[in-house]
Amino acid sequence: MSPLRRLAVLLYSADPGLGRMLQYWAATCVLYVVCIVQMLVQVEQGISDGQAATAVIAFAAVGALSFYLMIRFGARIGLKPDQLAVSQAVFSLVCGGWAYAISGPLRAAVLLMTVVIIVFCMFAARPRQTLMLSVGTIAGMGATMWWLQAHDPAGFPPMTELLTFGYLAGALLATAVLSGEMHKLRSRLKRQRRELTEALETIRVLATVDELTSLVNRRRMHEVLEEQERRQPSGGQHGKGCCVALLDIDFFKQVNDRYGHATGDAVLRCFSQAARASLRAEDVLARWGGEEFLLLLPDASPEDARTVLERMAERVHTMPVPGLDDRCISFSAGLATRHAGEPFAEAIGRADKALYRAKEAGRDRIVLA
Ligand SMILES: Nc1nc2c(ncn2[C@@H]2O[C@H](COP(=O)(O)OP(=O)(O)OP(=O)(O)O)[C@@H](O)[C@H]2O)c(=O)[nH]1
């Protein structure tokens, strides 16, 4: 990691949740900077008192820095994101009230910032917290305005303060109501996103998995083979080659006829489980149709593949199937190595011919193409 990136991670954190909170913090800092510049211009123009403005600016700067530290290391001190958001808002509102008191004729404009702070809160705090903040701000600003008009009626005419307070209270209450609506909308969107993700997963499973055996279905297997052709156009890795085998359960019609279709289904399920238990993680077994299965063995020589199929045959011979008494299940297999650059369709065609020969030769055997 470069030193610059390490510094960025240290300041900004690699955790996306924390990163988002720090983004909000950075956005509030931009607002603070804008307000500080305005305040300096006000001092320059003789609208605000220089000492009072310096005190507000210092208070805001120290507060912003403290909040950065609290957000960055908040997890260690056990502060929750919404608690941090509310504390930040309370701090900003105190700054806003103070700025109001020293901004002379521009004070009504400062109130705009107060509304902006509450709107910011809507994104991070709960609707109840936003409502409490709005009510608290109305009470706090009401008290400030009352105190200012009582102590300096010439600078803060009572009627002007009262009307300004009315506008502020209306705006804050409307914002709090809006926050509730936005929260509902966000909850609905979250639920819809979760439902959509679940629906997509269901569709994906239905499109790729065989319902009876839970094996990969024929459609998905075609995709797997295409991916394999793209990844290894010349055959298998490590010079071992790649094998395909077509497997077909022997005398399956007899099972259906004698024991019933439900037992036939149970045989297919048990066969799939037993067969899958004999494979490596990279091997893919698909239900190719009816009682026929296609096995892809990437990076396997024909000898390796035969060993796998023999191990599989042993498991299948001894697997218990509910409702089948003592009848032993077997399968025949046609095995083919995929030649370099050969399309899988051709290798599967050769495996199919080998399977036919295995059936002809008496079943329960593996024939190499
Ligand atoms: N229970 C059940 N039977 C199925 C399913 N799909 C196909 N079959 C049956 O599988 C049987 C396949 O029979 P055949 O093609 O004659 O093959 P077989 O009896 O296994 O004979 P060989 O392959 O020559 O050993 C048919 O009776 C199909 O109805 C299924 O999903 N469930």
- The pLDDT tens digits of the residues spanning 282-321 come to 999 999 999 999 999 998 999 999 999 999 999 999 999 9
- Indicate the pLDDT class of residue 12, thresholds 50, 70 and 90: low
Distance 289 CA to ligand 1 centre (A): 10
Contact call for residues 51 and 75 (beta carbons, < 8 A): no
Say how many Å lie between the CA of residue 286 and the centre of ligand 1.
16
Cα–Cα dist 181/188, whole Å: 11
- 97-103 long-range contacts, CB within 8 A, separation 24+: 97/140, 97/141, 97/144, 98/56, 98/59, 99/35, 99/39, 99/56, 100/141, 100/144, 101/144, 101/148, 102/48, 102/49, 102/52, 102/53, 102/56, 103/39, 103/42, 103/47, 103/48
Catalytic site positions: 291
Does the ipTM surpass 0.95?
yes
pLDDT digits (tens, 9 = 90+) for 145-189: 999 999 999 999 999 999 999 999 999 899 888 888 988 998 999
Across 72-86, 97-111, 199-213, 227-241, the highest mean pLDDT is recorded for 199-213
Taking 90 as the threshold, does the pLDDT of residue 211 lie above it? Answer: yes
* Most confident of the following: 22-36, 79-93, 172-186, 193-207: 193-207
- Which atom number of ligand 1 is nearest to the Cα of residue 267? 1
CA of 16 to the centre of ligand 1 (A): 54
pTM across the whole model: 0.63
Rounded Cα–Cα distance for residues 107 and 100 (Å)? 5
Determine how many CB atoms are found less than 10 A away from the CB of residue 358: 24
Q: What is the pLDDT of residue 209?
A: 97
Q: Minimal CA–CA distance to 248: which of 321, 369, 354?
A: 354
If one residue of 268, 287, 291, 360 were mutated to test the ligand 1 pocket, choosing by the most ligand atoms within 8 A of its CB, it would be: 291
The yes-or-no verdict on residue 13 having pLDDT over 70 is no
Among protein residues, the one with the nearest Cα to ligand 1's atom 21 is 251
Helix (H) or strand (E) holding 333: strand 331-338
* Cα distance between residue 360 and residue 242, in whole Å: 26
In 250-289, DSSP assigns E strands to 284-289
| Amino acid identity, position 215 | L
Residue to substitute in 215, 217, 253 for testing ligand 1 pocket (most ligand atoms within 8 angstroms of CB): 253
Assign 130 a pLDDT band (cuts: 50, 70, 90).
confident
* Size of the chain in residues: 369
- At CA 229, angle to CA 227 and CA 235, rounded to 5? 135
Residue nearest to atom 3 of ligand 1 (CA): 264
Tokens of 88: 């930040």
Give SS3 for 4. Answer: helix
CA 291 – ligand 1 centroid, Å: 6
Residues with CB under 6 A from ligand 1: 212, 248-254, 256, 261, 264-265, 268, 290-291, 359, 363
Closest CA to 211 of 263, 268, 262, 295: 268
Q: Are 321 and 263 in contact (CB under 8 A)?
A: yes
Shortest-distance atom of ligand 1 to CA 265: 1
Ordered structural domains, the chain, with CATH: 3-199 (no CATH), 218-368 (3.30.70.270)
The pLDDT-based confidence of 110 (bands split at 50, 70, 90) is: confident
If you measure from the C-alpha of residue 319 to the centroid of ligand 1, how many angstroms do you get, rounded to a whole number? Answer: 19
pLDDT of residue 4: 73
pLDDT at 76 over 80: no
- Classify burial at 173, counting beta carbons within 10 Å of its beta carbon; exposed 0-12, middle 13-18, buried 19 or more: middle
DSSP letter assigned to residue 328:
P
Q: Which of 256, 258, 287 to mutate to test the pocket of ligand 1 (most atoms within 8 A of CB)?
A: 256
Average pLDDT, the chain: 90
